[in-house]
Amino acid sequence: MLLPDAREAIVTACQELSRSGLVVGTAGNLSVRAGDLVAVPPRGVRDAALPPEHSASATPELVGVRRLDGTAVEAPLAPTSELPLHLAIYRARPEAGAVVHTHSLAATALSTLVTEVPAVHYYVAMFGGPVLVAPYATYGSEELAGHAVHALRDRTACLLGNHGAVTIGPDLAAAQDKSVYLEWLCEVYLRAFSAGTPRLLPPAEIAVVARKLAGYGQRA
């Protein structure tokens, strides 16, 4: 079996995302890139509704492996409908080792209201600055994939208008962490601007925090 570790990690991460409430039913998905290959879960099969042996993302064997052009290498089932989104991001962002896509509540609510998540908290530095909202396009379309790549540009996260959220990272753990922080940030902004006009942090401060975060965790 190709990419056994990546496929196993996807199974575990799908279960974690489901438990965390960041995804609902079969909505949302994640992928891992290793060289020219991408491991992606199969299309919309509910983990919770199926016995473990039939749940499409419950075994590493059923997680597909594809090339960056989408051709199947080892893929027993149809891929997630957002395959074009995942592949477009990997082609545009060689440093990305994993992509996490969710329909988490606060991020999705905000994606219907604003064009960016501004610097309401210094955590935006984690994503490279204010998080942009990609214009709406039909799910699974190349158009949506293009919008997402554009909104991600020099960022590690974006929202998809009237749809959800995307985060990327060097590996799955990093991309998953970011999806949790992004949801928190969206919740903060949603609450703050529901109550008034939030103060924003200046770009210079976000740059200071970005430098601090770059060193975070590396010191004893």
Q: Is 16 a catalytic residue?
A: no
Q: Report, in angstroms and rounded to the nearest whole number, the Rg of the chain calculated over CA atoms.
A: 17
Residue nearest Zn ion, CB atom distance: 164
Site for Zn ion in 158-197 (CB under 5 A): 164
Residue where the block lists tokens 């929202």: 159
Least distance (Å) between residue 219 CB and Zn ion: 38
Least distance (Å) between residue 166 CB and Zn ion: 9
How far is 45 from 192, CA to CA, in rounded Å? Answer: 36
How many residues bind Zn ion, per CB under 5 A? 1
Least distance (Å) between residue 210 CB and Zn ion: 28
Q: Where are the alpha helices (DSSP H) in 21-114?
A: 83-92, 105-110
Least distance (Å) between residue 31 CB and Zn ion: 13
Q: Which is nearer to Zn ion, 16 or 74 (CB)?
A: 16
How far is 217 from 28, CA to CA, in rounded Å? Answer: 29
SS3 130: coil
Catalytic residue among 8, 82, 183, 205, which? 82
Residues 96 and 68 sit within 8 Å (Cβ to Cβ): no
Q: Which is nearer to Zn ion, 89 or 201 (CB)?
A: 89
Nearest to 159 by CA among 179, 141, 188, 138: 179
The 125-164 contact track toward Zn ion, x by CB under 5 A, reads ---------------------------------------x
Site for Zn ion in 7-26 (CB under 5 A): none
Q: Which is nearer to Zn ion, 64 or 164 (CB)?
A: 164
Residue where the block lists tokens 């009237």: 162
How far is 102 from 86, CA to CA, in rounded Å? Answer: 12
Q: Which is nearer to Zn ion, 3 or 85 (CB)?
A: 85
* Helical axes 142-152 vs 83-92, angle rounded to 10°: 40
Active-site positions read: 82
Give contact residues for Zn ion (rule: CB under 5 A): 164
